[in-house]
Structures are given as structure tokens and as C-alpha cells.
């Protein structure tokens, strides 16, 4: 029986990795011991967080709905602890497949953000591997496709041969630093390791119910901001949005990402970008979002200097983190390896689906509790 350890299961990608693991067991008629490391909260145990944040009626894919309760009891074991402070049970053995997803996603460039990223994503990761390094068979370490930093043109899976890094924030810089750290730890302890790098993650496009995500962030945050502003200030006027008119964003549905991460456990390659072969033009993304919000926009090449009150608020908050991506150089991901390992799954067309993906979140006010459940979804 296989033994698996997953961190970060209360996150968007992590929850879907867990869903995929359960579906794999069911479809292959196999058994496994799946350990999930979850931090408790002041008023909530780790087990309760698993139930409340992962196995919610709104989020559960239809494909696991008939059996997930049984499998939850039989195969999932909750470890309550922190990444840098937990005990892995002795009966988990020494032949574990580890999916490490727990991380902080803070795109700010403040000193506070740097300290948070350094502590959570680097120092705590070192402590985590002190516990599991001698008991690991295979590690899938989930990083980000943006750990390459700003780059123009084709982006291949091989980041580690590069020497010319231009990081946009501490998050990218420390992701690259920790990638190299875990590969070194894997080499020293003789276990296989694959760095899996998803790009920007959206709601589902393969599994039903479609479009659902446990969190609506990054591009969704732009819509959430302007939807609120339009309600508060109906006459907010034209908004100048900074972007590269030729640029694009690689947006990947979370269920496609999760399938790629699961299959990464079976490959020998050390680096895998979980990206689509086609970007969505940044101009198309911004225009669709703000039109849905009922906001008039003007596309500009750089952040405006003489800002309106609403523009000041945007560029001080959401914009301060995202403008470096909307104004990025034109690039595209090679995506050959991910298409090879997911050859049996049709690649989602995010360009054709983007409006539906965003509008779903907009219509539920970016809150899954607003989803109207139907009997077929339960």
C-alpha cells in the first residue's frame, strides 16, 4: 500500500491534489495511507479545518461525491502541526511520496513581505525536510512558473541552467532559492525530486462543477476590487490600467494543475512547468473584467502619475503587486513535458473560456457560500 504525505491541502491547489488522490484510488481500486499536515487554529482543530475548508459541498468535484466520505475515513490521516514542527508517525514508514505545497504567496516588495517569505518559504521548508528527508521516496515540490523572473520569449522547463534572473519580488526570488535547496537535499538523501511549477491558477475547467475554486485571487482580485468600487462610487469615472499591449498571462485551471502534480510523482525529470501552450492576452483579461464590473477603462503602457482617488487606491493595493505582471515582456511557455504526461487529457482552452471563468466568480461575489447547490452537485 502506498504512503503519501501532502502539505497545503487547505489551499486551492492542495485541496484539488487531495481530490485527485482519492479519485485515483477509487478508479484504480487501490488503497493508500494519505497523511495531510494541517495547522490548527485557535478555535478549530486540524481535522475540522479539513472538513470545513476542503470537503465543502460547493467545492467537492462530482466525480468523488459518491464515495469521498468513506474514503476520507479509510485513507486520510490528519497530522496536526506546523511545517516546521510536526511528528510523522512511525507507521507511515520510510517509503513516502511527498507533495509539498504549503507556502506563503505574498507578492509585495516590502521588508515585511521579505521576512514572511524568507521565514515561511525557506527557513520553514528547511525544517520540514529535516523531518522527512530520510523517509522520502519521491518528492513533488510545488513552486511557481514565475520563479524564472521576468523574461522575454520562450520559457522552457529548465530554469536552473539560467544565470540571468530578474525577479519581480521576493516571492519569486525565494522560490528559486528553495527549488535549488530541495534538489540538493534530494541528491544528498538519495530520493527522486520533481519541481512542479504552475502558472496563474483559475477555477476548474475539466471537472464538474466547473469554474469553482477554493480562492479567487490574482486576476480575480482586480474584479473584486472594482466591483466594490463601482458599488461605492457609481460615477468613479475612467480607470487607466497599465499593461503591455502585446503581453499575455498563462492561466491554468486548478484541476489541470492538480492532475499534473499527481503525475509528476511518476516522472524522472527534475523540472516541470504546469502551463498551457497558449497565453490569454492581458488586454483581453483586463477588458473583460472591467467591462463586467461596468467600469470604463483606458489602457496605458505604465502606471499613471497623476492618479484619480480610485486609481491611487488601486495602485497602492492590488495594483502594487500585479502591475509588474500586467506590464511583463511578451513571453510564452514551451509546455511540451506537461502535454506529454497529460496527453490523454485535452488541453483546456483558457482564451475561449476566460469570460465564463471570471464571470462565475464575479456572479457569486467571489464567495463559494453564495453558490446555489443543486442535488446533482452533492
Per-residue pLDDT at 378 exceeds 70: no
Compute CA 202 distance to the chain's CA centroid, rounded to the nearest angstrom: 8
**349-366 average pLDDT score:** 98
pTM: 0.97
d(CA 146, CA 201) in angstroms, rounded, equals 12
**pLDDT tens for each residue of 5-53:** 999 999 999 999 999 999 999 999 999 999 999 999 999 999 999 999 9
**50-58 average pLDDT score:** 97
Please state, for a pLDDT cut of 90, what percent of the chain lies above it. Answer: 96
pLDDT band with cut points at 50, 70 and 90 for residue 373: confident
**Residue closest to 271 by CA, chosen among 190, 334, 188:** 334
pLDDT band with cut points at 50, 70 and 90 for residue 377: very low
C-alpha cell at position 316:
497602492
**166-174 average pLDDT score:** 96
pLDDT of residue 375: 62
Tell me if residue 33 falls in helix, strand or coil. strand
User: Strand 271-274 to strand 153-155: parallel, antiparallel, or no bridges (unpaired)?
Assistant: unpaired
**274-293 average pLDDT score:** 98
For 40, residues 6+ apart whose C-beta sits below 8 A from its C-beta are 46, 49, 80
pLDDT of residue 292: 98
d(CA 255, CA 13) in angstroms, rounded, equals 8
- Is the distance from CB of 64 to CB of 54 less than 8 angstroms? no
DSSP string, 222-266: HHHHHHHHHHH-TT---EEEE--TT-EE-EEEHHHHHHHHHHHTT
**311-325 average pLDDT score:** 96
Per-residue pLDDT at 217 exceeds 50: yes
d(CA 213, CA 58) in angstroms, rounded, equals 9
**pLDDT tens for each residue of 221-253:** 999 999 999 999 999 999 999 999 999 999 999
pLDDT of residue 1: 76
**pLDDT tens for each residue of 98-148:** 999 999 899 998 999 899 999 989 999 999 999 999 999 999 999 999 999
Amino acid at each position: 500500500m502506498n504512503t503519501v504525505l501532502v502539505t497545503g491541502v487547505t489551499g486551492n491547489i492542495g485541496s484539488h491534489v487531495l481530490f485527485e488522490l482519492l479519485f485515483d484510488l477509487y478508479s484504480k481500486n487501490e488503497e493508500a495511507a494519505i497523511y495531510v499536515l494541517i495547522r490548527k487554529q485557535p478555535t478549530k482543530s486540524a481535522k475540522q479545518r479539513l472538513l470545513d475548508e476542503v470537503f465543502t459541498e460547493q467545492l467537492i468535484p462530482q466525480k468523488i461525491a459518491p464515495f469521498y466520505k468513506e474514503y476520507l475515513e479509510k485513507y486520510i490521516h490528519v497530522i496536526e502541526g506546523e511545517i516546521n514542527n510536526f511528528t510523522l508517525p512511525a507507521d507511515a514508514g520510510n517509503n513516502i511520496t511527498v507533495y509539498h505545497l504549503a507556502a506563503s504567496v505574498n507578492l509585495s516588495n516590502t521588508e515585511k513581505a521579505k521576512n514572511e517569505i524568507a521565514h515561511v518559504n525557506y527557513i520553514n521548508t528547511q525544517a520540514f525536510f529535516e523531518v522527512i528527508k530520510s523517509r522520502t521516496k519521491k518528492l513533488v515540490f510545488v513552486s511557481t512558473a514565475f520563479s524564472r523572473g521576468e523574461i522575454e520569449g520562450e520559457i522552457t522547463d529548465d530554469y536552473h541552467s539560467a544565470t540571468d534572473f530578474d525577479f519581480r519580488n521576493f516571492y519569486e526570488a525565494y522560490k528559486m532559492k528553495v527549488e535549488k535547496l530541495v534538489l540538493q537535499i534530494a541528491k544528498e538523501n538519495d530520493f527522486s525530486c520533481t519541481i512542479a511549477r504552475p502558472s496563474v491558477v483559475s477555477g476548474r475547467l475539466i471537472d464538474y462543477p466547473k469554474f469553482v475554486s477554493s480562492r479567487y485571487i490574482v486576476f480575480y482580485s482586480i474584479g473584486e476590487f472594482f466591483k466594490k468600487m463601482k458599488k461605492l462610487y457609481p460615477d468613479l469615472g475612467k480607470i487607466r490600467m497599465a499593461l503591455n499591449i502585446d503581453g499575455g498571462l498563462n492561466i491554468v485551471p486548478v484541476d489541470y494543475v492538480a492532475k499534473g502534480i499527481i503525475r509528476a510523482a511518476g516522472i524522472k525529470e527534475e523540472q516541470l512547468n504546469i502551463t498551457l501552450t497558449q497565453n490569454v492576452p492581458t488586454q483581453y483579461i483586463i477588458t473583460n473584467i472591467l467591462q463586467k464590473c461596468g467600469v470604463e477603462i483606458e489602457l496605458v503602457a505604465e502606471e499613471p502619475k497623476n492618479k484619480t482617488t480610485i486609481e491611487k487606491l488601486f495602485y497602492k493595493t492590488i495594483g502594487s503587486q500585479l502591475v509588474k505582471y500586467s506590464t511583463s515582456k511578451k513571453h510564452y511557455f514551451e509546455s511540451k513535458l506537461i502535454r506529454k504526461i497529460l496527453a490523454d487529457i485535452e488541453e483546456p482552452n483558457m482564451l475561449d473560456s476566460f469570460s465564463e471563468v471570471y464571470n462565475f466568480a464575479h456572479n457569486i461575489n467571489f464567495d463559494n457560500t453564495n453558490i446555489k447547490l443543486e442535488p446533482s452537485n452533492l
